Amino acid sequence: MRSHIRGITLVAGTAALLSLTACGMGVEAQSDQQAVNAINPAADAQAQSNLQTAIVAAQTAVSSSGSFAGVSVAVMQQNEPSLNYVTGPSMGPNTVSVLPGGQTWSAAVRSTSGTCFYAVVSISGTATGSAKAPCEAANAAAHAAETG
């Protein structure tokens, strides 16, 4: 009988230990997920801020030329050298994909969260948006909505 009680006690103790360990791991995993969730908004804010900086630089460039057609990678690099400009996809928050046109100028910036932020700038206003999609200025019109 005593060995049977010892066996039950051993099983109950082991179950309690495993339960406490599992609870602790759950808290650690939850804490890690909260840390990851906190990174995404900060990463997104950085990408959005860089996009806004590029928009201001493009608007400055067009005010002197009168057309978005000349607001190329080279002009953007000259006007705002703190960012990198490409005609292909943005691969990170410091790289702005640009597409100049006669009436509009489009841009896209990829956040490290994977979200791409888009802008289409015209004389009448700026349309912006975001999506988990290919991050190229050529896709901006499909993901941007007029904001004024």
| Triad 106, 70, 99: Cα angle to 5° | 25
CA distance 87 to 105: 12
The string of pLDDT tens digits covering residues 112-123 is: 999 999 999 998
Mean pLDDT of 72-81: 94
Torsion, Cα 99 131 110 127, to 10 degrees, reads 40
The string of pLDDT tens digits covering residues 27-56 is: 444 444 444 444 578 889 999 999 999 999
Cβ atoms of 115 and 143 within 8 Å: the answer is no
Q: Which pLDDT score is estimated for 147?
A: 54
66 or 3: which carries more pLDDT confidence?
66
Mean pLDDT of 60-89: 92
User: Highest-confidence range of 21-35, 60-74, 109-123, by mean pLDDT?
Assistant: 109-123
Inform me whether the pLDDT recorded for 76 exceeds 60: yes
Query: What residue ranges do the domains of the chain occupy?
Result: 2-146
CA distance 46 to 75: 22
